[in-house]
Amino acid sequence: MPALIAAEAQAAWGCVETPELLSHRENTVFAVRLPDGARAALRVHRPGYKTAAEIAEELAFCAGLAGAGIACPRGVPTLAGDWLWHGQDGQVVSIVSWVAGAPLGAGDQDLPPEAPRLYAELGATLAQMHQAAAGLGGVGSARPAWDIDGLTGPDPIWGRYWESPCLSSAEAALMIRARNHARGILGDAGGELIRGMVHADPLRENVFITKTGLALIDFDDCGPGFRAYDIAVALTQSLDDPDLPVLRQSIVGGYAEVSALSEAELACLPVFSMLRSCCALAWVGPRFAASHPKLHLYKARALRAAEAVLARRDILAG
């Protein structure tokens, strides 16, 4: 079905080759060739995940970032000048510019030996993105907010992780205690936690190594939120990595070279990492069968992180 939609939609941009399937995750992404010969990424957006207004805001945000010198995909308008193509059955399609490079890594693979240097560069890249975002005014106001409610409220952005069907009653109760504890910590930190537009998903797969440095891709979850959350998300894939303390020092150091981090932000990094682990459990729940091994990995990570935060153990200390 997405392939048929892509084949129909590409005419709105005048694409000159058959779309080539690249990935099927939150969106189904195809490589296409624009009329000028440039390669681009056509995205068939998952129905019901984001509204057309939210997708348009993502494209506007990325356009603003790119205009400020941040390496990221730019939205490509149709031949009629529109950001989006709408199918008869409500499908939404967009095209963004191609980012040539290779991902920093993958969650189920070891990082390369140069990971500390790359994480320092990633920290600087995130700080530069946050600074650029601050100059874009109200762009992103229609996007879901990664604030206290978006992470710990009654209806978090990615779902009620404490209600995951894979949890026992005792495990669900643990999640609720950890959620309430985290909510209190973030509330107490107050204004010391700097807010602004964040990427919200700077995983290894969404950080590309290019000829000119690092580039961020896949802004599908961007929105207003805590800047420190982006740093924690980037570290959460490495919770089982023996080099986690080095990676943490590297990304924090790289960020701080560009933009200062408050003591409260540094202290809340483990809390944000725990919340990301919990939110990720809610995200994978509808996408994986109950017997899928990855579901149990996500569950184990979330429970371990929740226990650590409740015990006031730093899960990012390795």
List pLDDT tens digits, range 108-147. Answer: 788 999 999 999 999 999 999 999 999 998 787 889 999 9
CA proximity to 84, closest of 53, 113, 127, 116: 53
Q: How far apart are CA 152 and CA 181, in angstroms?
A: 10
Cβ(147)–Cβ(224) below 8 Å: yes
Q: Spell out, as residue ranges, where the chain has pLDDT lower than 50.
A: none
pLDDT tens string 29-62: 999 999 999 999 999 998 888 999 999 999 999 9
CA proximity to 306, closest of 162, 154, 204, 108: 162
Domains and CATH numbers, the chain: 2-98 (3.30.200.20), 103-310 (3.90.1200.10)
pLDDT at res. 142: 86
pLDDT at res. 56: 93
pLDDT at res. 1: 63
Q: What is the pTM of this model?
A: 0.94
Q: How far apart are CA 162 and CA 148, in angstroms?
A: 16
Q: How far apart are CA 220 and CA 54, in angstroms?
A: 9
Q: Which two tokens stand for residue 256?
A: 């701080």
Q: How far apart are CA 33 and CA 41, in angstroms?
A: 9
pLDDT at res. 292: 81
Residue with tokens 């963004």: 96
pLDDT tens string 167-176: 999 999 999 9
CA proximity to 136, closest of 55, 59, 77, 50: 59
pLDDT at res. 66: 96
Cβ(42)–Cβ(15) below 8 Å: yes
DSSP readout, 183-212?
HHHHHHHGGGS-EEEE-S---GGGEEEETT
Those residues with Cβ within 8 angstroms of residue 110's Cβ, 6 or more apart along the chain or in another chain? none
75 forms beta bridges with 96
Residue type, 117: R
Cβ(187)–Cβ(271) below 8 Å: no
